[in-house]
A and B are shown apart, each in its own frame.
Chain A
Amino acid sequence: MKNSRIYYKQRIAVYLTAILFIITAGCGKSFLDVPPQGQQPSEQFWQSQADATKGVNAMYANLREWKQVGFASVGVESLGSDDTEKGSTPADASFLTTFDNFSVSPAEGQLLDFWQGQYQEINFCNQVIDNLPNISMDAALKTRYIAEAKFIRAYANFRLVRAFGDVPLRLHLPKTPEEYNLSRTPAAEVWTAIEQDLTEAATALPVSYAAADKGRATKGAALSLHAKVAMYRKKWADALNFTDQVMKLGYTLFPNYEQLFRIPNENAGESIFEIQAQLIPGNKDASNSQYSQIQGVKEAVGGGWGFNVPTADLAGTYETGDPRRDATIIFRGETTPEGDAIALAGVNPRFNQKSYVPFDKFISGYNEGADQNIRVIRYAEVLLINAEAANELGNTQQALSSVNAVRLRARNGLTGILPDITVTEKVALRNAIWQERRVELAMESDRYFDVIRQGRAPQVFGKLGFVTGKNEVWPIPQNEIDISAGKLTQNPGY
């Protein structure tokens, strides 16, 4: 008995020791080598043509994201102007009022959102530009993708430099700690970099795409944005040259100005670059554009939040009978051409009609108007840049021809309104073209920067609180200055 017990004991001990060793053996190197779960490591990316395609797609997709087209864009690119004001109820998002009356504080969150949004876009572009040269793929496609990225990078840098002046210039992905924390590059150098990107993009981009690729950057888009940049920089010869080139690419003005902004007419012949957005049932995250939602008719199902509303000043600036007034502004009490009756009672008398999406398109749970593309550059603007440049260069007839083409379309066959401009005196014609820009491009994020570049801000915006020598640019976001350990400096006056 005793022996068998000892034997039993020993056997148990042997078993347990065996378990110990088995488990210990299990704790070798391989036990601790666990691959990331459901996550692709970055080393596996940027290896193939498929990766390049996905990376380029991400770059386009990000253009409709909140920081690109939401409150940040409204605050920084629109509310400072005399065309729009905050909207909604007075206390609702009252921080946006500080853009309206030029009392914005550097800590205001929309400044940071705008800043981050543009740099996020640049990061997507830089990934394409830095990584594609090392991928073995279709050479023509590679060239095109890089050119598309340069166009979009130029667009983001353009939005940054006109909003903030000197900004950190990122043309490559950061590698060293210094590159992570860049100081501000003088605006002139940023403009030069934008021009270079656009030159390279225009060379490599196709004039048009097959239907399945509609929405990508084209040669016309690069040339048009380059012309716009030249206009901001008063490089009139460049502006004229590039718009002349665009005018030979086959763009046409869409006959009905109001219908131009409706969903069926997206990417029409007038469209030079549009941010593509779509409501995809079952894919809320991809149906993420809030561009129309924030500007939609307040207190209406399928409308929106009622921000960035047209001012009385804008409503009063149109020539009598100009159809563009009704096409640009939804007035309380009207019924839209699509049949939405807008209630007469409400806090805001006017809403943006260019972002309007008929209410029956709304699916609850999704953003109102998530379907609407955002028109970035239209052929009408190219004609107006062409007119402005031609006039500055003394080519009056071309200026008149271009600006009147825009008015002709606005008339859309109606008579007795919007007669052709005939004035030839340079200053008077310049003012006429500027006025035409205002009404043709109203609510399209240009008025505020136009007035500043035209040097008229003190006169036009003075009554709104504009301070010369300060409000030409917005303040650098305080969070960015804090995080940069003082490497970023503030704009004067803030």
Chain B
Amino acid sequence: MRKLLAGYERHLYALKKMRTATIPFLLSFIFLLQTAAAQAQDIKITGKVTGGSTPAPIPGATITVKGTARGTVTSNDGTYTISAPSNATLVVTFIGFSSKEVPVNNQTTIDITLSESVTQVEQVVVVGYGVQRKVDITGAISQVKGSEISKQPAPNAVSGLQGKVAGVQITNSGKPGAAPNIKIRGAGTIYGSPNPLYVVDGVWYDDISFLNPADIENMSILKDASSEAIYGIRAANGVVLITTKKGKAGKPAVNYNGFVGFQRVTNRVKMANGHEYAIMVNELSAQNGQPDLLKPDDFGEGTDWYKQELRNAMITNHQLSISGGTEKSTYSFSVGYLKQEGIVKTNDFSRFTARLQNDFQVFEPLKIGYTVTASVYNSNDVPDAIFGQLYNSAPIVPVRNPDGSYGDPSKYKLGNGPANNPQVTLDFYDQTTKRHVVTGSVYADLRFAKHFTFHASAGGEYGDSIIRNYTPAYKATTIQQNNISTLMRTGTDRTNWIVENTLTYENKFGDHDLRILAGQSAQQYKLYKLIASAQNVPNNSEGDRYLRLGNTDGREVKDEGDLYTVASYFGRLNYAYKNKYLLTASIRADGSSKFFGDQRWGYFPSVGAGWVVSEEPFLKNAGIFDNLKLRASWGKIGNASIPANVSVLRVAQDPYLTAIFGGNVNTGASINAVVAPVTYWERAVGTDVGLEASVLQNRLYIEAGFYNRETQRAIFDVPFPGSVGTRFSTIITNQANIQNRGWEFTVNWKDEPGNKDFSYSVGANLGINNNKVLSVASGNNPIYGGGAAATGGALGTRTVVGQPIGQFFGYQVEGIFQTDAEAAASAQPFAKAGDFKFRDLSGSHGTPDGKIDANDRVPLGNPNPKYTYGINTYFSYKQFDLAVDFQGVADVDVYNANLGLRFGNENFTKEFYDKRWHGQGTSNTYPSAFIGGRQNYLPNSFFVESGSYFRIRNIQLGYSFPADMTKRWKMKNLRLYLNAQNAFNFFKYRGFSPEIGGTPNNVGIDNSVYPLYATYNFGVNVTF
């Protein structure tokens, strides 16, 4: 264990300022002894050795003169001085980095940049409740360094993972402060939180928005069931283990990272202008048998609402950290400040974070420590409805009239579709959110009886948030006015804690390497929310925002809460024989207060085996493989991220059930839902087979894997007949078995060709996933979804055996009716010219029956991406470094609900205007302006589009100042960089962004998502 830990730390902290004592000193001593043999015509060479993806000075690197025993080591700031022949070659080596040869060529200053090269044998990976050598791992675990993540200008660490790891799909929301959606190996669960479990320094979280990405040392993504099984209860969506930075013994290291930049909307959809819109309104009116509403010639370009309300938004980030310590205690302290403006005017988000971490070696066998993080968030919010309004609003309405009053859509008699002036919406929306989160953990490690380590830890999270919403009394337009002000405060308190104890036995005897872990854990999650409002609150200043200043009558108070507990026991065995044959087995038992009786406890076993083929004599000396491992594993995992007490039927006592008799209010209550009598743990059973190989002196690393994961008894929210009569006509229970099966490939190449100051690395990863429903409780009858407003209330998705979850479902469009007569004579007698012509595919008996009805609906597309991929490149030449990351998904469909979701005279896209049907022969693919009416709005193939995209996710160009300059400035390192994120995006999708989230049986339905934006920034890294 200690050895492994040491190896782990060596790997992780190599970049840190550290006194690398013994070995280099011994080496240099030996070298010094031999310098007696040095030749004449030597010159004195000085320089600095740096390394890493964000290059930092490397102290303790060994520099030798090639072919001699002469050498030295770099000092604490990475500098060195050596005498060598002017035609000699220097060889620079440091553990964890590729060695490098540099010809002297009469230079007296040579700065050398090393690139990280961790051989598979050395590399250590964070696993559940411990660390393991990568070579000993029998499951599929991907590791991403903190520096890879903090390099990107994303406020949330998770978005930095996009394109970095095979099989991990990240869907970013553009909303400042909002957490991205993450899916590991496809959609495995339907209900509850689809997010993975995040374990930060041993504490469990659903969301890691509180974490400053720059504080992250390392992220491990557990992808296969056997690795995840040790986290049984919450593992079904994958597990992300995060280790934060720790201090190292030595002088204080002070580091500043900062960037400033801006975000701007890219790939904006062009909407019809005023003139075009007026034409469309008249065409729509004609479709409804009405005269023209507008004179198109009265209108020109009109208002471009997106242009009006969106902006280039600033983003600023500062992070300062100080770390250091002594042999007995270390510390790491950091503060961070992020300010991100939203791309919608008036929207902004800021976050302060402070983090303190201390470790104390109390005495030889006992180490204790703690980490505490505090964060404060503030945001000025905009209503979610604004994106729908920007899309829908009429370009003929001015933002303001010449007299300064707001443009009033009602004056144009356009109906309820574009009823709002978005400028009014923003001007009178006054909501702020403040959040405070304090989280942390304490631990103690005790080693005893030679082979045992006892680890106890306790952690928790306290968070509160206050949303303050104020609607003033105002009169802006016919619709947008309010005659009495309202103040509403929503307060949420969250208190979570976790206590864990593990005991590890570790022993090496002969060819046997054995480790046994046993542990216990208890957790509690508690939430309380209080919502209060009052009317007629004055509006003189922020100081008036008190409920007590409002009217005493008409006050409202509501509250709600949640509480659940978990108790767990777990154990794991790791065994290696001759470092060749590997065995891992684990079991976890979880009890959750969400389940009852016999169903309360779930048991989650796993087993894995590995064979390090390269250790076999027949390969060991062949010199082909530096490492070759085959692995296979199996595991069972659970998912309890469902609402508490889903199988407890509750009494509804809501205000809408209040009866009025004789003018008096009478509290009403009833039972308004149906619950399943028993809900079981949702679980997943996964098998994983993989191959890992390193060849060509570890320059090429290849990993290939196959997985098959079956989610059993998946918990679904399934509609039942409305005739049962409950207000909520869905039942939450175990409904389906779902399979995610696929392949993952990772290839990394690293090299420093020749003897130049050039090095590069290229990595590529690919995940191929196939999602299939194996069985559903309703037999062959599908589970329908998507029946929300976005699809006009019609059920637009279904989940049926043999098909992917939530596939799009509807009519197949075969053309557009060109004349009323053609429509009247068709299978759709109520259709009119310009309407979709649906394909007559089936009648009630399975053959076309000359009638378009529900039997003609067919699968239209799959919202689950088949391919997710990324390409990550890094180049370094002298003082310059360049990183370019590409990322994409392919073979996925999106339902463009924006096109058909119309209540009236909403605006159209320019593309739709150009291609629409507007008279016989004008189009056989795009319908008339009446796309939201008659049967045109029903889910059909016109709305289903490819959601594939490819983007240059990140481009970063950096310049590190030469050591002699930084030395003069009393810095150890100074690097400047330019970064562009999401600058180039390629997709065919007709909406703003093909990255659409959603719950699994409603996923991929685009209804006014946040527009896609690119971020450009300039940053500085300084180390003192």
Question: In the docked arrangement, what's the CA distance between A384 and B660, Å?
Answer: 29
Whether B650 and A41, one on each chain, are in contact in the complex, defined by CB atoms closer than 8 angstroms, is yes
Q: A88's closest neighbor in chain B, by CB?
A: B415
Question: In the docked arrangement, what's the CA distance between A215 and B665, Å?
Answer: 12
Q: A214's closest neighbor in chain B, by CB?
A: B662
What are 21 A-B pairs at a CB distance below 8 A?
Answer: A5-B363, A12-B366, A23-B499, A23-B501, A27-B591, A33-B593, A36-B650, A40-B653, A41-B651, A55-B668, A92-B904, A97-B288, A214-B661, A276-B660, A280-B665, A282-B554, A283-B554, A283-B658, A477-B722, A482-B784, A483-B721
If the complex has contacts A41-B650, A93-B416, A364-B483, are A9 and B366 also in contact, measured as CB distance less than 8 A? yes
Question: In the docked arrangement, what's the CA distance between A135 and B478, Å?
Answer: 53
Residues of chain B at interface, number, CB under 8 A? 113
If the complex has contacts A12-B366, A54-B653, A182-B723, are A23 and B565 also in contact, measured as CB distance less than 8 A? no
- Return the contact of B722 from the options A115, A124, A280, A299 (Cβ within 8 A): A115
Question: B274-315 vs A: 1/0 string, CB under 8 Å?
Answer: 000000010011001110010000000000000000000000
Whether B413 and A347, one on each chain, are in contact in the complex, defined by CB atoms closer than 8 angstroms, is yes
A20: min CB distance to chain B, Å: 5
Whether A216 and B567, one on each chain, are in contact in the complex, defined by CB atoms closer than 8 angstroms, is no
Question: In the docked arrangement, what's the CA distance between A237 and B142, Å?
Answer: 82
Whether B456 and A38, one on each chain, are in contact in the complex, defined by CB atoms closer than 8 angstroms, is no
Q: How large is the interface on A (under 10, 10 to 19, 20 to 34, 35 or more residues)?
A: 35 or more
Any chain A CB within 8 A of the CB of B539?
Answer: no
Any chain A CB within 8 A of the CB of B178?
Answer: no
Say which one of B217-225, B319-327, B347-355, B789-797 lies at the interface with A: B789-797
Q: A17's closest neighbor in chain B, by CB?
A: B454
* Known A42-B650, A301-B481; 8 more pairs at CB < 8 Å: A13-B446, A105-B938, A107-B938, A120-B727, A167-B723, A182-B723, A283-B665, A483-B722
Chain B residues numbered 634-692 whose CB sits less than 8 Å from any CB in chain A? 644-645, 648-672, 674
- Return the contact of A91 from the options B288, B446, B556, B669 (Cβ within 8 A): B288
Whether A58 and B644, one on each chain, are in contact in the complex, defined by CB atoms closer than 8 angstroms, is no
If the complex has contacts A91-B284, A365-B484, are A299 and B448 also in contact, measured as CB distance less than 8 A? no
- Return the contact of A45 from the options B553, B651, B665, B726 (Cβ within 8 A): B651
Question: A321-336 vs B: 1/0 string, CB under 8 Å?
Answer: 0000000000000000
Ranked 4 nearest A-B pairs via Cβ? A123-B725, A282-B554, A109-B793, A89-B415
Question: In the docked arrangement, what's the CA distance between A9 and B559, Å?
Answer: 50
Any chain B CB within 8 A of the CB of A418?
Answer: no
Question: In the docked arrangement, what's the CA distance between A115 and B471, Å?
Answer: 37
Query: CB-CB < 8 A to B904: which residues of A?
Result: 89, 91-94
Any chain B CB within 8 A of the CB of A220?
Answer: no
Q: A33's closest neighbor in chain B, by CB?
A: B593
Question: In the docked arrangement, what's the CA distance between A197 and B562, Å?
Answer: 42
Whether B721 and A92, one on each chain, are in contact in the complex, defined by CB atoms closer than 8 angstroms, is no
Any chain B CB within 8 A of the CB of A57?
Answer: yes
B80: min CB distance to chain A, Å: 42
Query: CB-CB < 8 A to A89: which residues of B?
Result: 293, 413-416, 904-905
A189: min CB distance to chain B, Å: 15
Any chain B CB within 8 A of the CB of A450?
Answer: no
- Return the contact of A38 from the options B289, B413, B561, B726 (Cβ within 8 A): B561
Say which one of B157-165, B380-388, B927-935, B987-995 lies at the interface with A: B927-935
- Return the contact of A213 from the options B554, B650, B662, B725 (Cβ within 8 A): B662
Any chain A CB within 8 A of the CB of B564?
Answer: yes
Whether B644 and A37, one on each chain, are in contact in the complex, defined by CB atoms closer than 8 angstroms, is yes
Query: CB-CB < 8 A to A478: which residues of B?
Result: 794, 854
Any chain A CB within 8 A of the CB of B563?
Answer: yes
Whether B657 and A482, one on each chain, are in contact in the complex, defined by CB atoms closer than 8 angstroms, is no
- Return the contact of B658 from the options A23, A61, A94, A180 (Cβ within 8 A): A61
A63: min CB distance to chain B, Å: 9
Q: A37's closest neighbor in chain B, by CB?
A: B561
Any chain A CB within 8 A of the CB of B560?
Answer: yes
Question: In the docked arrangement, what's the CA distance between A122 and B666, Å?
Answer: 20
Question: In the docked arrangement, what's the CA distance between A51 and B520, Å?
Answer: 44
Question: In the docked arrangement, what's the CA distance between A4 and B483, Å?
Answer: 78
Chain A residues numbered 21-38 whose CB sits less than 8 Å from any CB in chain B? 23-24, 26-27, 31-34, 36-38
B560: min CB distance to chain A, Å: 6
Any chain A CB within 8 A of the CB of B802?
Answer: no
Most chain B CB within 10 A, of A181, A280, A281, A286, is at A286
Whether A61 and B668, one on each chain, are in contact in the complex, defined by CB atoms closer than 8 angstroms, is yes
Whether A213 and B645, one on each chain, are in contact in the complex, defined by CB atoms closer than 8 angstroms, is no
A124: min CB distance to chain B, Å: 6
Any chain A CB within 8 A of the CB of B7?
Answer: no
Residues of A within 8 A of B (CB): 5, 8-9, 12-13, 16-17, 19-20, 23-24, 26-27, 31-34, 36-42, 44-45, 51, 53-62, 65, 88-95, 97-98, 103, 105-107, 109, 112, 115-116, 119-124, 126-127, 167-168, 170, 174, 180-182, 209-216, 276-278, 280-286, 288, 299, 301, 305, 346-347, 362-365, 477-486, 488, 490, 494
Question: In the docked arrangement, what's the CA distance between A17 and B667, Å?
Answer: 54
If the complex has contacts A45-B671, A122-B725, A480-B722, are A92 and B903 also in contact, measured as CB distance less than 8 A? yes
B243: min CB distance to chain A, Å: 23
Q: A60's closest neighbor in chain B, by CB?
A: B659
If the complex has contacts A42-B649, A94-B288, A282-B554, are A479 and B669 also in contact, measured as CB distance less than 8 A? no
B531: min CB distance to chain A, Å: 12
Most chain B CB within 10 A, of A26, A56, A127, A483, is at A483
Whether A119 and B478, one on each chain, are in contact in the complex, defined by CB atoms closer than 8 angstroms, is no
Query: CB-CB < 8 A to B522: which residues of A?
Result: 23, 26-27, 31
Any chain A CB within 8 A of the CB of B405?
Answer: no
Query: CB-CB < 8 A to A362: which residues of B?
Result: 483
Any chain A CB within 8 A of the CB of B961?
Answer: no
Query: CB-CB < 8 A to B721: which residues of A?
Result: 168, 180-182, 480, 483-484, 488
- Return the contact of B792 from the options A109, A182, A278, A347 (Cβ within 8 A): A109
Question: In the docked arrangement, what's the CA distance between A488 and B723, Å?
Answer: 11
Question: B487-507 vs A: 1/0 string, CB under 8 Å?
Answer: 000000000000101000000
Query: CB-CB < 8 A to A20: which residues of B?
Result: 454, 456, 501, 520
Whether B933 and A94, one on each chain, are in contact in the complex, defined by CB atoms closer than 8 angstroms, is yes
Query: CB-CB < 8 A to B66: which residues of A?
Result: none
A101: min CB distance to chain B, Å: 8
Query: CB-CB < 8 A to A124: which residues of B?
Result: 670, 725
Whether B655 and A36, one on each chain, are in contact in the complex, defined by CB atoms closer than 8 angstroms, is no
Any chain A CB within 8 A of the CB of B853?
Answer: yes
Query: CB-CB < 8 A to B779: which residues of A?
Result: 485
If the complex has contacts A38-B560, A39-B650, A93-B416, are A285 and B448 also in contact, measured as CB distance less than 8 A? no
Question: In the docked arrangement, what's the CA distance between A106 and B857, Å?
Answer: 13
Question: In the docked arrangement, what's the CA distance between A16 and B656, Å?
Answer: 54
Whether A116 and B413, one on each chain, are in contact in the complex, defined by CB atoms closer than 8 angstroms, is no
- Return the contact of B670 from the options A54, A91, A299 (Cβ within 8 A): A54
- Return the contact of B484 from the options A24, A364, A484 (Cβ within 8 A): A364
- Return the contact of A32 from the options B483, B593, B719 (Cβ within 8 A): B593
Whether A27 and B794, one on each chain, are in contact in the complex, defined by CB atoms closer than 8 angstroms, is no
B417: min CB distance to chain A, Å: 7
- Return the contact of A42 from the options B417, B483, B651 (Cβ within 8 A): B651
Whether A57 and B650, one on each chain, are in contact in the complex, defined by CB atoms closer than 8 angstroms, is no
Question: In the docked arrangement, what's the CA distance between A214 and B666, Å?
Answer: 12
Question: In the docked arrangement, what's the CA distance between A103 and B792, Å?
Answer: 17
Whether A65 and B656, one on each chain, are in contact in the complex, defined by CB atoms closer than 8 angstroms, is yes
Query: CB-CB < 8 A to A210: which residues of B?
Result: 662
Q: B364's closest neighbor in chain A, by CB?
A: A5
A459: min CB distance to chain B, Å: 22
If the complex has contacts A57-B657, A94-B932, A485-B778, are A37 and B562 also in contact, measured as CB distance less than 8 A? yes
Query: CB-CB < 8 A to A44: which residues of B?
Result: 651
Query: CB-CB < 8 A to B129: which residues of A?
Result: none
B853: min CB distance to chain A, Å: 7
Question: In the docked arrangement, what's the CA distance between A478 and B794, Å?
Answer: 9
Question: In the docked arrangement, what's the CA distance between A55 and B902, Å?
Answer: 39
Any chain A CB within 8 A of the CB of B535?
Answer: yes
Most chain A CB within 10 A, of B417, B471, B793, is at B793
If the complex has contacts A23-B520, A41-B649, A92-B903, are A479 and B784 also in contact, measured as CB distance less than 8 A? yes
